[in-house]
Amino acid sequence: MSALTVDLDRSSPVPLYYQVAQQIEHAINDGQLSPGDRLDNEISLAEQFGLSRPTMRRAIQELVDKGLLVRKRGVGTQVVHGQISRPVELTSLFDDLAGHHQAPRTDVLANEVVDAPDEAAAMLAVQPGTPVLHLRRLRYAQNEPLAIMENYLPEDLIAIGEMDLAGRGLYQLMRSKGVNIRVAKQRIGARTGTPEECTLLGEKRGSPVLTMERAAHDDSGRAVEWGRHAYRASQYSFEVTLVEH
CA–centroid distance for 25 within its chain: 17
**pLDDT tens sequence across 132-158:** 999 999 988 878 888 999 999 999 988
| 88 pLDDT tier (thresholds 50, 70, 90) | very low
Q: Answer whether residue 195 shows pLDDT above 70.
A: yes
What is the mean predicted confidence (pLDDT) over 36-47?
Answer: 84
Kindly give, in sequence order, each residue whose CB lies less than 8 Å from that of residue 26, ignoring residues fewer than 6 positions away: none
User: pTM of this prediction?
Assistant: 0.61
Cα 144–148–151 angle (5° rounding)? 145
Residue 92 — pLDDT band, cuts 50, 70, 90? low
pLDDT at 245: 45
Separation between Cα atoms, residue 100 and residue 36, nearest integer Å: 18
Least confident of 83-87, 108-112, 191-195: 83-87
pLDDT value of position 218: 87
- DSSP 8-state class, residue 160: -
Q: Report pLDDT for 161.
A: 81
pLDDT at 39 over 80: yes
**Beta strands at 84-87 and 236-239: parallel, antiparallel or unpaired:** parallel
What does residue 34 show for φ and ψ, rounded to 5 degrees? Answer: -110, 160
Count, residues in the chain: 245
Predicted local confidence at residue 173, as pLDDT: 86
Residues 6+ apart with CB under 8 A from 137: 106, 107, 108, 109, 148, 149, 165
Closest-CA residue to 173 (of 185, 152, 158): 158
Q: Which segments of the chain are extended strands (E)?
A: 38-39, 69-72, 76-79, 84-87, 104-115, 131-141, 144-154, 181-192, 208-218, 223-232, 236-239
Instruction: For 207-228, write each residue's pLDDT tens digit.
Output: 999 898 989 888 888 899 999 9
pLDDT in tens, 42-71: 888 888 888 899 999 998 888 887 777 887
Quote the CA–CA distance of 35 and 200 in Å, as a whole number. 19
The answer to whether residues 190 and 111 touch, using CB atoms and an 8 Å cutoff, is: no
pLDDT of residue 227: 92
How many beta carbons lie within 10 A of that of residue 76, not counting itself?
14
